[in-house]
Amino acid sequence: MSESEVAPNATYQSAERVLTLLKSFDDSQMELGVADIARALSVHKSTASRLAAALERTGFLTRVGRRYRLGVEIIRLGTLALRSFDLVATMQPAMEKLSQRTGETVNLAVPDGEDVLNVAEVPSTYILSSSGGWIGRRTRPHAVANGKVLLAYGALGPPRELERYTPQTITSLDALATELAAVAELEEGLVAVAAPVFDPTGACVAALSITGPEYRMLPEMLDSLGRLCASA
């Protein structure tokens, strides 16, 4: 095999490892050690250490003791991506109006692989609210109202696992099939309604949701809140 054939494969493999490493970070895994990185990439610890050091030098990772966190370069690129995301800019006025009218937190979410990614938020006007930095947070579609909307309209494929988060979480595929448009709870006492957002072709590309505590978002209010969400 010639050098010209080897180099592209090696470059592709390195790029794939970098992306796999960065995607290994999530809400439950904010820091990774070299051993964690090696396991995630299925490589030797020395390879993982060199890769982490290279990403640290370029600002994609930052070191805290012997462990690594996502670096400021990730924040810069993420902010840039959100600024260039036309969907967010288009939906922002409607989201603000909806939040002002209901007083509750309004979120915009899009499909992201098998998960739901929250890309924009207008916080509640109440002191006690459900807003807590949802932007950039991934959730499982069966456990949130906006995820059920994305499932119902075909923007997401059926989930393979239905993890239980609260006693109200649907964990049966048959039950999920009949409840895709229903309110869901990701946390105890948290209630949400959601509606689909369509692109010009009629495809569902996002979901808009209103979220609040169950003592304010009472069962008899959910239908009207859902209609407000759909109207927005």
Q: Which residue has the higher pLDDT, 35 or 188?
A: 35
Convert the pLDDT of each residue in 133-161 to its tens digit: 678 788 877 778 888 889 888 888 766 66
Please give the share of the chain, as a percent, with pLDDT higher than 90: 38
Q: What is the pLDDT of residue 114?
A: 81
Residue 107 tokens read as: 């979120």
Average pLDDT, the chain: 81
Residue 31 tokens read as: 């820091």
d(CA 105, CA 97): 11
228 pLDDT above the threshold of 70: yes
Residue pair 184/175 in contact by the 8 Å Cβ criterion: no
Q: Alpha carbon of 53 to those of 8, 18, 66: distances in Å?
A: 22, 12, 11
Q: What is the pLDDT of residue 214?
A: 86
Residue pair 189/83 in contact by the 8 Å Cβ criterion: no
131 pLDDT above the threshold of 60: no
Which of 36-50, 94-108, 190-204 has the weakest average pLDDT? 190-204
What number is the average pLDDT over the span 172-195?
61
Residues found in the chain: 232
Instruction: Report the SS3 class of residue 73.
Output: helix
Residue pair 185/205 in contact by the 8 Å Cβ criterion: no
Q: What is the pLDDT of residue 4?
A: 47
Enter the pTM of the model. Answer: 0.59
Q: Alpha carbon of 24 to those of 56, 138, 213: distances in Å?
A: 16, 13, 31
Convert the pLDDT of each residue in 70-121 to its tens digit: 999 998 888 777 766 688 888 999 999 999 999 999 999 999 888 888 899 9
231 pLDDT above the threshold of 60: yes
Q: What is the pLDDT of residue 27?
A: 79
Convert the pLDDT of each residue in 3-15 to its tens digit: 444 456 767 788 8
